[in-house]
Structure 1
Amino acid sequence: MDGFRSEATVAAEMREGVHALLAALEPEQVRELRAGPARLDAPEWREWTYLPGSRPGLSTEGLDGAQRDAVDALLATAHSAAGAELARGAIEVERHRRAMAGATGADRYWVRLLGDPDGAAPWGWRMNGHHLAVHVLITEAGMRVTPHFIGSEPARIPDGPQAGRRLLGPEEDLARELVTDLDAGRRAKAVFAAAPPDDILTRDDPFADPDLLPDGLPHGDMTPGQQGLLARLVRRYLDRAPAAYARECWSETVARGPGALSFAWAGGREPGDRHYYCVRSPDFLIEYDNTQDDGNHAHSVWRHVRHDWGADLLRAHYTDQHR
């Protein structure tokens, strides 16, 4: 994990990043950046997708170099150093995919600013496009950064200057090591299907529902070594976020008891096999699939049952306003 930054420090960095972006934009671009309803708990804010296609907001496609640098700098503030590398990687792999398909033109992602970063009211921002979805909300009480989605098509770049690159390789390898280490009895609980689903099961649902996922193998039924692998896998996702928020989420899991975690797998266990896995708990869920394009197209998502879209912070803020 990179150096610790408090949530207040991260929020200040984001404010600076937003101001730098606003200063670099033309008036019409600022209007596009601010597209959306005034209240941050409006249903529209829960609309998202990781599929190709346009979104509301400011498109990066027409930005000049300084403007795009400002977007990239803002994107980095929502992550740890490792998380920022993943987010940049999703964009880089998407460029490779488009080049292999003969597509021309600039990157196509959309950025939206929610609320006023200089006021006392909640505010936030998001960046969305094919295989990248980052959602940030900040109040005086804290910050939230889920849903968080990273995809990679291809999962392994077959040729060219980046040949062999596996953006989500650690996410895949840790889970495979875990399922491979299970004995027959434990594996029978963990593996819920011989054929994996074609995509993550929660898709782009507005609400995270762990009950959509299979029960899998409980943490308490694993050996200590397997429990350690599961913890490393979970931290791989949580540690995408700035350290303060990642620590908060992990501390919540530890306080509840890691026995609430479970792990499930579907598909083959050999490298290159189509496969899927998930981790569920009462607080969050993690999903990963590498099933499309004959097992060379990966999706990964981290959702939080209460924190997605900053719903808990918004609820507290609006409740306090009406007391």
Structure 2
Amino acid sequence: MKKLAYSGIVLLLSLILLQNFTSKMQEGKLLQTAQTFLNTLEQVQIERATFSLADEERYNWNYTPVARQGLPIKDMTKIQQEAAFALMRASLSEKGYKKAQQVRELEAILRGVEGREVGDAYRDPDNFYFTIFGKPAHDEAWGWRFEGHHISLNFSSVSDKIVSVTPTFFGSNPAKVPSGPKKGWRILEPEEDLGRALVKSLSQDQQQTALIAKEAYPDIVTTNEKIAKINKKEGLLYNQMNKQQQEQLMQLIEVYYNVHQPEIVQEAILSMEKAGLENIHFAWAGSYDVGEKHYYRIHGPTFVIEYDNTQNDANHIHTVIRDLEKDFGEDILSQHYEEAHK
């Protein structure tokens, strides 16, 4: 790989390790926290919270306020909630855990913005669900999901190791809180600001290449499909950027991935490197101006990152990471199952 790409990767990995040094993984092993959570549940709760690993429900992920399968926070005792949150901490970086809790907090703010009554189940910070797939045990393949309005975190594991963390979805409505004690709060601020800073740093010729539509798409293109599909690669290539722009692009990618544990982030970046940074496209649609509808995506051979801010007068953000090779860890988990059950 060229020296420029190599130096960018080394810098990015160093930042990731530094920023995630305080990761809560050290507080407890993943497998142990999953087992502890299940052990706090009553039988009727276990029946709600668990599915087989092969169940199609595992792929039924959503980011809108729809009916869900699993056990919601509101139906847990305090001890059960603490055990559930420990599982989140064991699976995410501290930044990721904080962001997930901020999405929950934003539901109460949205309830006020929409003029709903306190206790309205449609905008309830405790209406977020934990779902376990398979049996968390040594030498077993299993997974789990944390999901509610504007969040869907999907983890696939073998024993005590996370092997896949996608789809990873975070949303924010409002993207910028318009009034009240939290006025001006933006939980997805870096995703918006760094993306805009990158497109504005481009020359006119570069922008013409990066711009794939004058109007922003109404939502992320991959939606909540089981298999992520982008029909064609388009936009500005990594090698068509100058050094500063390449570093900005890698910084933006890091913003999306640093919600996960450091080892997960390293694997993702190294996978990008192996597939060739020169094959990564940055694409933009819509306006470059603050407060106007816009969309962007970062598309490489192994992954797609999407960002969309068009709804509610461009004050409603959707973001997602999709792994084009191992969403839901299907190949890895299938291989493990075949080898373990020969």
User: What TM-score results when the alignment is normalised by the length of structure 1?
Assistant: 0.92
Describe the shift of the 1:63–1:4 C-alpha distance in structure 2 as closer, same or farther (beyond 3 A).
closer
Offset, 1:321: 4.1
Offset, 1:205: 0.7
2:326 corresponds in structure 1 to 307
C-alpha separation between the residues in 1 aligned to 2:173 and 2:203? 32
2:118 corresponds in structure 1 to 104
2:102 corresponds in structure 1 to 89
Describe the shift of the 1:11–1:123 C-alpha distance in structure 2 as closer, same or farther (beyond 3 A).
farther
The reply on whether 1:295 has 2:314 as its aligned counterpart is yes
1:73 corresponds in structure 2 to 86
Contact 1:2 1:243 in 2 (8 A): yes
Offset, 1:42: 4.2
Offset, 1:113: 1.0
Same amino acid, percent of matched pairs? 32
2:289 corresponds in structure 1 to 270
Moved more, 79-88 or 145-154: 79-88
Offset, 1:20: 3.1
Alignment of 1:16-55 (within 5 A): 16-34=32-50, 36=51, 38=52, 40-55=53-68
1:223 corresponds in structure 2 to 242
Offset, 1:22: 2.3
Give the RMSD, CA atoms, in angstroms: 2.0
Contact 1:153 1:296 in 2 (8 A): yes
Contact 1:94 1:152 in 2 (8 A): no
Given the alignment, which residue of 16, 20, 25 partners 1:2?
20
Offset, 1:177: 0.6
Describe the shift of the 1:63–1:103 C-alpha distance in structure 2 as closer, same or farther (beyond 3 A).
farther
Offset, 1:11: 11
Contact 1:4 1:243 in 2 (8 A): no
Q: State the Cα deviation string for residues 7-49 of structure 1 (Å, max 9, x = none).
A: xx67962223223322332221121111x3x2x2444321211
Describe the shift of the 1:137–1:15 C-alpha distance in structure 2 as closer, same or farther (beyond 3 A).
same
Q: Which amino acid aligns with 1:72?
A: F
Describe the shift of the 1:68–1:23 C-alpha distance in structure 2 as closer, same or farther (beyond 3 A).
same
Offset, 1:65: 2.5
Contact 2:155 2:162 in 1 (8 A): no
Contact 2:23 2:94 in 1 (8 A): no
Describe the shift of the 1:122–1:133 C-alpha distance in structure 2 as closer, same or farther (beyond 3 A).
same
Gap runs ≥5 in structure 2 = 1-18
User: What TM-score results when the alignment is normalised by the length of structure 2?
Assistant: 0.87
The reply on whether 1:121 has 2:140 as its aligned counterpart is yes
How many residue pairs get aligned? The number is: 317
Alignment of 1:124-163 (within 5 A): 124-140=143-159, 142-163=162-183
Offset, 1:277: 0.4
C-alpha separation between the residues in 2 aligned to 1:294 and 1:53? 23
SS of 2:29's partner is helix
Gap runs ≥5 in structure 1 = none
SS of 1:89's partner is helix
Contact 1:11 1:138 in 2 (8 A): no
